[in-house]
Structure 1
Amino acid sequence: MNTRTYDSTPSRRVAFLGLGVMGYPMAGHLARAGHQVTVYNRTASKSIAWCAEYTGTTGQNDTLNHAATPRLAVQGAELVFCCVGNDDDLRSVVLGEDGAFAGMAPGAVLVDHTTASANVARELYALAKARGLNFVDAPVSGGQAGAQNGALTVMCGGDLAAFEVAKPVAMAFSKAFTYLGDSGAGQLAKMVNQICIAGLVQGLAEAIAFGDKAGLDMPLVLDVIGKGAAQSWQMDNRGKTMVDGKFDFGFAVDWMRKDLGLVLDEAKRNGARLPATALIDQFYADIQQMGGRRWDTSSLIKRLK
């Protein structure tokens, strides 16, 4: 049961596009915070289920509704939030005659929480500006648990004025909603985040595998070193499940490979050298070959046992 309390932000008319494992609870926090929410999902049954969960009705006369297309969902919305799978999915819900841009009112803000490329963020920003609209790239960190608990970290790029319009509403599902610079800056910051996570998880996997081979009580070792300089979120939340070989939760390997692909593509463009990240990306490819496409990213340790 969600017990989160919400700040008294005035009710706004908003839309949410994409009700996956992240978007579904994010949209729910907006509803619980008192906003008038219209949702769209490619599979309409999910939109209907969302309305039933958050209002007990699927009718169109309530403050929470579902729409058949992104264009219909965004009509009358001051703010549009989006969280889909990749660049192509993002273009499919934003562009075209049934896309969000076709239905948004002048001055409305689209906040995109998809982890996508910096290039598509800049592309959609430019197209939005040409239409008199606003676009903020705002990928998130915190995973499914962060979305469910309303405790996501959000990294934003775009115009500061549009960011400031979105922030009070987006805090319904965020613990931090931070402006980092021009269009694309949010996506680039998320890439930095994923580089860090990949290295941390691989280091933790090697450490646990080494400790096991040495005959150590690894849960006890993790308790001890978790109080020192080796401490990290990954150690605190994934260390003991890695020892136990449990990977049926969290951020899937397939998603991490998508994200690291974005990272490596951007590195080719900007000249950054990422030898460890490129190697760990291939380690994740090994996990996929082992049948672990939907395992948590901490499953890297499976290669070492």
Structure 2
Amino acid sequence: MSKVAWIGLGVMGYPLAGHLKTHGHDVTVFNRTREKAERWVDAFGGRLAATPAEAAGDADFVFACVGNDDDLRSVTLGPDGVFQTLQSGAVFVDHTTASATIARELHGAARERGAGSLDAPVSGGQSGAESGTLTVMIGGDEDDFTKAKPVIDAYARAANLIGPSGSGQLTKMVNQICIAGLIEALAEALHFAKAANLDVEKVIDTISKGAAQSWQMDNRWRTMIEGKFDFGFAVDWVRKDFAICFDEARRNGASLPVTALVDQFYADVQEMGGNRWDTSSLIARLGRK
């Protein structure tokens, strides 16, 4: 078993760090809100650190799951950050959905210390984190991936090395672009079915056996038509992810017209007060008069 530091105990980080502890790893945690870290230690055991640097001091692996590029720089490169104490031979694994630019920056900083760094954003949401069934898309070096994968497997049903540093974050962008159009299409389809006075349950039971089937359809159709959005991946978060996609697209020349349109639809949901609603709440704007 390994010595592990975990930085960031949010919706995703809290259960993921818990999986590592229940799998027998020696886990030290840090969270900006100390009360949450204390609650995690009460629930799982392990130790609480006062700073990211303290948590990382003797760790074989340091995991982070924070909000955005700025948060990530603060907990890694800041004066009390992980990279002040990251050991030679250790591996930093970042589960934050962030830019490919920060991923490459941290990879270089880790290499200067004789350590490794993997950008490893995840898909599967809160439910996947809690059940330990996430998909992890990883960028970095093969030797670091080989070391870290047995630890990541504690909460992943799939963890794949895509390519060099930054490739994990770029793959997460692909994932978010795919989901954008899919959720809007499902929202429009359900809205249409209701307007046509169809038995929606029978419709879904039928078309979910064919080419229209998706995870979103299987897991969200019922809550979408019932107007229940108090779970899952928040609208504020997906718009943050889309901003990362658009920034990268401006650099690589990709055209994202559907994603840009769906982003504006999510802006409408925010105006309705749905900032923290699940992304399936796109259907809510279709019912407005």
TM-score range, shorter chain: over 0.9
Tell me if structure 2 keeps the 8 A contact 1:219–1:243.
Answer: no
Name segments (4+ residues, structure 1) moved above 4 Å: none
Choose from 30, 40, 54 the match for 1:50: 40
Q: Where does the alignment leave 5 or more consecutive residues of structure 1 unmatched?
A: 1-10, 56-63
Which residue of structure 2 lines up, in the alignment, with residue 15 of structure 1? 5
Q: Where does the alignment leave 5 or more consecutive residues of structure 2 unmatched?
A: none
Amino acid at match of 2:14: Y
Which residue of structure 1 lines up, in the alignment, with residue 166 of structure 2? 184
Tell me if structure 1 keeps the 8 A contact 2:86–2:113.
Answer: no
Amino acid at match of 1:122: R
Alignment partners' CA distance in 2, 1:214 and 1:105 = 62
Choose from 118, 123, 143 the match for 1:161: 143
Which residue of structure 2 lines up, in the alignment, with residue 261 of structure 1? 243
Tell me if structure 1 keeps the 8 A contact 2:139–2:165.
Answer: yes
Aligned: 1:217 with 2:203: no
Which residue of structure 2 lines up, in the alignment, with residue 287 of structure 1? 269
Which residue of structure 2 lines up, in the alignment, with residue 78 of structure 1? 60
Indicate the SS of the match to 1:239: helix
Alignment partners' CA distance in 1, 2:53 and 2:79 = 8
The total of aligned residue pairs comes to: 287
Output the aligned Cα RMSD: 0.7
Which sits farther off after the overlay, 129-138 or 148-157? 129-138
Alignment partners' CA distance in 2, 1:214 and 1:169 = 50
Choose from 228, 234, 239 the match for 2:216: 234
The TM-score with structure 2 as length reference comes to 0.98
Alignment partners' CA distance in 1, 2:209 and 2:47 = 48
Which residue of structure 2 lines up, in the alignment, with residue 102 of structure 1? 84
> 1:17-166 maps to which residues of 2 (within 5 A)?
17-55=7-45, 64-166=46-148
Amino acid at match of 1:281: D
Amino acid at match of 1:223: D
Tell me if structure 1 keeps the 8 A contact 2:118–2:165.
Answer: yes
The TM-score with structure 1 as length reference comes to 0.93
Tell me if structure 2 keeps the 8 A contact 1:158–1:182.
Answer: yes
Amino acid at match of 1:255: W
- Render the CA deviation track for 1:196-220: whole Å, top value 9, x for unaligned: 1111100001101111111111122
Q: CA deviation at 1:78?
A: 0.5
Alignment partners' CA distance in 2, 1:96 and 1:198 = 34
Alignment partners' CA distance in 2, 1:128 and 1:286 = 41
Tell me if structure 1 keeps the 8 A contact 2:10–2:66.
Answer: yes
Tell me if structure 1 keeps the 8 A contact 2:87–2:113.
Answer: no
Tell me if structure 2 keeps the 8 A contact 1:29–1:150.
Answer: yes
Alignment partners' CA distance in 2, 1:154 and 1:198 = 19
Amino acid at match of 1:15: A
Q: CA deviation at 1:107?
A: 1.5
- Render the CA deviation track for 1:157-189: whole Å, top value 9, x for unaligned: 011100110000111111111100000000000
Q: CA deviation at 1:127?
A: 1.4
Tell me if structure 2 keeps the 8 A contact 1:158–1:184.
Answer: yes
Alignment partners' CA distance in 1, 2:148 and 2:100 = 20
Q: CA deviation at 1:131?
A: 2.0
Aligned: 1:173 with 2:155: yes
Tell me if structure 2 keeps the 8 A contact 1:156–1:178.
Answer: yes
Indicate the SS of the match to 1:247: coil
Alignment partners' CA distance in 1, 2:277 and 2:126 = 14
Percent identity, please. 62
Which residue of structure 2 lines up, in the alignment, with residue 7 of structure 1? none
Amino acid at match of 1:258: K
